[in-house]
Amino acid sequence: MSRPFDRLRRSLVAPALPRLPLPPLPATTATLLLLLLLPGLALWRWPRPRAQGLEQLMAASSLLQSFAASPDRPVPALWRERFGATPATRLWREQRRTWWQFWGPHADGGAYLAVQDNAGSQRPLPANGLRVGNLLVVAPDALSRRLLQDQLRPDQRAGRGLYSACLPRLESGQGVFWNASGLGALVGPLAPLLEAYQEGCLSLSLESSELRWRGEATDRAATAGPARSVRAPDVPASSLPPLPPDLLLELQGSSLEQLFRGLLSRQLIRDPLAARYGIDTKGLALLRRSPFRLRLQPQASGPFQASLELQVAVGRDRQAWRDLLLGLGRSLQAQALQDLPGASPSSQAQAATWRREDGVVLGGWRWIGDSGPTPQLLLFLGPVPSRWQTMTTTGVQAPGPGSLWLRVRPQGLDQLGLLPEPLPDLVRRADQLAMEAAPGAGGVSWLRGRLQVIP
């Protein structure tokens, strides 16, 4: 009786696969060694090239500027200070290639000067000078020279990521490279608002009365990331219209995350927002995802030099914003601020104007198109805005996802003392500044803009 079941069992079992002969043990060992040694041999035979002089300086500087040779122009003061008057004049007349000035890692000392070292070791070094690859670098003093020498890495390999894109911009023509320290030294307390652009580079060109630029920036270290193409998208210069005289600044973005990411990542900021204003994790998430327009408007009279308006497209988050305003209203009342007499919590979620005990208006909020399909919320600091309008009625199209648009009147801000002190005079004297940032691959942002120079 068992035979039929035995035949059935044997018919259901898959036939055994033929066994492949294993290579002899010495052959297996040799194969493994080849697999391990070949990549190492290739790296030894064709290593990534070492960084040249300019790239070593990029790694040791916080801010670096490149300039095209212009021997027909007057000798720059930096050349006279570093070389001495007579040698500087002779070298300036001989210079036919790009030269550079840069600042150390903390941007708190004098500028270094770097030129092409055409004569090499045949020319004696000037005071506080040293050779870095194919460049001659002159430090502002002996201590700065020693600090730079300690930071240089002669065995440094050629950069990857952003370095590979920035190097060609700085090797020819006029350009600028910065890292987080350099940006912080330029914009001071505004640096957290620019966290997405902590390191980057721009190519600069002067066209008529405008200084134009294009380049790229990232929030990561410039040496990070894989090697990639250094060619930027072929886009025209910024086409944003000039800012009207009644505005000092306008910033537009596809989400408040672009503006507040650097601030909201700090526990020191998040804790008071939650404890004092009731803006918890849920409220912060609401802030981060909302498209916005930020405006700064001058005030000719009153207790404020300027008023700030933040206009937010709330989309489907209408009720969530109302809940956030209710909590914010309770927090402001607890701090002895007053709304209109008799205002109820439900009305405060719709409109509120907060005053001190002496009656001075400090700020508030208003809904725009609350009953329509595209509601927007206007929050303001300072007097009540005289005009309310939606984001789409200014003639400027809303930026795409991840994009940021900035328009500024630097001279107007400077007259009110609202510009960071270290910004160059060229920026302070400018009548208009416009810049656009668009997202690229690998966390890179493409930048383009223009500065209207006043002679």
Write out pLDDT tens, residues 196-212: 899 999 999 988 889 99
Question: What percentage of residues in the chain have a pLDDT greater than 90?
Answer: 45
**pLDDT at 393 (0 to 100):** 47
Would you say residue 427 has pLDDT above 80? Answer: yes
Place of tokens 């990070």: 224
**Tokens, residue 300:** 């000719």
| Contact between residue 402 and residue 439 where contact means Cβ atoms under 8 Å apart | yes
Closest alpha carbon to 365 in 350, 375, 355, 345: 350
**pLDDT at 19 (0 to 100):** 53
**pLDDT at 174 (0 to 100):** 94
Write out pLDDT tens, residues 353-393: 999 999 999 999 999 877 777 889 999 999 998 766 554 54
**pLDDT at 169 (0 to 100):** 92
Place of tokens 């998430």: 285
**Is residue 126 packed enough to be buried (19+ CB in 10 Å), middle (13-18) or exposed (0-12)?**
middle
**pLDDT at 21 (0 to 100):** 54
Distances 381 to 191, 295, 363, 366 between C-alpha atoms, Å:
21, 11, 4, 12
**pLDDT at 277 (0 to 100):** 85
Q: In sequence order, what are the residues at sequence separation of 6 or more whose Cβ sits closer than 8 angstroms to the Cβ of residue 304?
A: 382, 383
Write out pLDDT tens, residues 79-131: 999 999 999 999 999 988 999 999 998 777 899 999 998 766 677 899 999 99
**pLDDT at 406 (0 to 100):** 94
Write out pLDDT tens, residues 14-67: 444 445 455 555 555 655 555 555 555 444 444 445 557 899 999 999 999 999
- pTM of this structure: 0.80
**pLDDT at 47 (0 to 100):** 47
Residue 409 or 389, more confident: 409
| Contact between residue 366 and residue 351 where contact means Cβ atoms under 8 Å apart | yes
Give the integer Cα–Cα distance in Å for 81 and 77: 6
**pLDDT at 349 (0 to 100):** 84
The pLDDT of 64-73, averaged and rounded, is: 94
